[in-house]
Amino acid sequence: MTKISEPMKKVLNSDTAYDIQFNGLKCSDGWKISIVGKKMNDIYDLYERLNTYLVNHKISHKIATRKRLESNFPEQNRKLLTIYVPNTMDINKLLLKVEYLLKGYKGWHDIKLPFKGYEVYSGGICFRNDRDEYGDYIPAKNVK
């Protein structure tokens, strides 16, 4: 697990951006994994547990900042880390790895799941495909 630096803590405490984006391999198949939480310490914990692995494997992801956490967007302010599954990667294998890296993570406790359009994998790990059969984006709020 990577210890979070003070400069990164400052970035994550941003009140100007909702997320910090890390780009990686092409992710047009629509699969994404979201990890939920409710406090700044959860954001720090998720960053420490997952960021190095995701960056080293060139997996696109975004992590929430204080602005998202404190926003008044139901559900959105609880999705603290979103992973965009690369086209070349099996989502099931990535879910297993994320679950392993999050062993003992408790930030998801007391959060009502699943969110609209998502399935719960385990703990605070949820996933969905945000593309229709034509490859067009489907917002979670439009999922039936």
Q: pLDDT at residue 2 above 80?
A: no
User: What confidence tens digit (pLDDT) does each residue in 9-36 have?
Assistant: 999 998 899 999 999 999 999 999 999 9
Res 139: pLDDT? 80
Structure tokens, 100: 């392993």
pLDDT confidence bin for 144, thresholds 50/70/90: low
CA dist 7 and 92 (Å) reads 34
Q: pLDDT at residue 115 above 80?
A: yes
CA dist 82 and 33 (Å) reads 6
Q: pLDDT at residue 110 above 80?
A: yes
Residues 6 or more apart in contact with residue 141 via CB below 8 angstroms: 116, 117
Q: Which residues make beta-bridge pairs with 32?
A: 84, 128
User: What confidence tens digit (pLDDT) does each residue in 32-72 have?
Assistant: 999 999 999 999 999 999 999 999 999 999 999 999 999 99
Q: Where are the alpha helices (DSSP H) in 58-110?
A: 66-69, 91-101
Q: pLDDT at residue 102 above 90?
A: yes
Nearest to 64 by CA among 48, 84, 42, 86: 42
pLDDT, the chain, mean: 93
Report pTM: 0.94
